[in-house]
Amino acid sequence: MSVIVYSTPSCPYCTMVKDFLKKQQVPFEDYDVSRDQRRAEEMVRKSGQMGVPVTDVNGRIFVGYRPSEIESALHR
């Protein structure tokens, strides 16, 4: 399983997504798009959005804090 969170340090919803994944004991990669332009471009390419958080669960893209949808994707 591949889980990626595109986030920024000042984003409260990013923290909520990461806390949710930690509570679910789901390993994930966290990319700070405020510091990594390549990852920021990757995030926009995948989601069509410039806002964070963007969560990629095995290629399924979720914009914003969507715990029930993310959980559903984790159990597929």
Q: Going from the N-terminus, what domains does the chain have, and what CATH number goes with each?
A: 3-74 (3.40.30.10)
DSSP state of 75: T
Q: What is the spatial distance between Cα 3 and Cα 57, in angstroms, rounded to a whole number?
A: 5
Q: Digits of tens for pLDDT over the chain (76 positions)? A: 899 999 999 999 999 999 999 999 999 999 999 999 999 999 999 999 999 999 999 999 999 999 999 999 998 8
Q: What is the pTM of this model?
A: 0.95
